[in-house]
A and B are shown apart, each in its own frame.
Chain A
Amino acid sequence: EVQLVESGGGLVKPGGSLRLSCATSGFTFSSQSMNWVRQAPGRGLEWVSSISSRSSYRHYADSVKGRFTISRDNAENSLYLQMNSLRAEDTAVYYCASTLPGGASFDYWGQGTLVTVSS
C-alpha cells in the first residue's frame, strides 16, 4: 500500500523557519518525482515545488522562490521542504504528492500538515 505521511507543520512567527518532511512507503521512491502542493484555508490548490527522482531538477513557484528549498533522501524514502522567511500568506495545509515515472500527474498524496504563520 502506498503511503505518504507529512510532518513538521505547526505555528511559527513571521520571518521564522520550518522544515517539513514526507515519509513514504509502498512504492519505489527513488524512481519518482516528488512534489509539494499547499492549500490555504478555504482556498484552492497551489503548487509549491517539484524535484526529479535524482534531484537533478528542482522547480519552484514564484511565490516561494528564494525562500523555500525542496530536497529528498532516496536512501530514507523521504522528501523535505525547508521553508525560510515565512509570511502570513504561507499559512496552509502542505501536501506531498508523487508522480509516477514517465508521468506528470500527482498520483498519490499524503494527508497534509498544517503550517500557520502568525505572531
Chain B
Amino acid sequence: SYVLTQPPSVSVAPGQTARITCGGNNIGTKSVHWYQQKPGQAPVVVVYDDSGRPSGIPERFSGSNSGNTATLTISRVEAGDEADYYCQMWDNSSDQVVFGGGTKLTVL
C-alpha cells in the first residue's frame, strides 16, 4: 500500500518560515491535502489539491507538490500555528485514503 512519510517534528522561531514535507513515490502526480490539528480539537483542512487554500485560512499557508515530495509552507509563523500537521491523498491503486504520520510543529 502507498506510504506517506512526514518528519515527526519541525521547529521554527516566530516570524520565520516553516516547511513540512510529505514524501511518497511520484506523489507529484497525485492531489495532496493538508490538515492542522490542535490538541483536543478536530482536524481542519488548510490546503487542498496541492495548493488550494480554503476560505478562512490565512495566506501564510501554502502548498506545493512535485516529484516525490509535497510541501506545506507556513510563512511568518505565529505561536498559534503550533499544532500537528497531516498530509493526505487518495491512492487510486488500492481505492483507499492515505494519511501521513503527522508532523508536530513547535514554535520556539
Within 8 A of A (CB), among B81-108: 84, 86, 88, 90, 95-102
Q: In the complex, which of the residues A35, A50, A105, A112 contacts B45, with contact meaning CB atoms closer than 8 Å?
A: A105
- Report the nearest A residue to B86, measured CB to CB: A45
A107 touching B45 in the complex, CB below 8 Å, given contacts A44-B101, A44-B102, A62-B1: yes
Residues of A within 8 A of B1 (CB): 62
- Report the nearest B residue to A49, measured CB to CB: B97
B56 nearest CB across to chain A (Å) = 11
- Report the nearest A residue to B47, measured CB to CB: A105
Residue count of chain B within 8 Å CB distance of chain A: 25
B93 nearest CB across to chain A (Å) = 13
Q: B99 and A47: CB pair below 8 A? A: yes
Interface of chain B: mostly helix, strand, loop or mixed = strand
Q: In the complex, which of the residues B48, B84, B95 contacts A105, with contact meaning CB atoms closer than 8 Å?
A: B48
Q: CA A103 – CA B90 in complex, angstroms?
A: 11
Q: CA A37 – CA B86 in complex, angstroms?
A: 13
Q: CA A37 – CA B99 in complex, angstroms?
A: 10
B23 nearest CB across to chain A (Å) = 15
Q: Does A59 contact B (CB under 8 A)?
A: yes
A61 touching B35 in the complex, CB below 8 Å, given contacts A106-B45, A109-B43, A110-B42: no
State the B residues within 8 Å of A (CB): 1, 31, 33, 35, 37, 41-45, 48-49, 54, 84, 86, 88, 90, 95-102
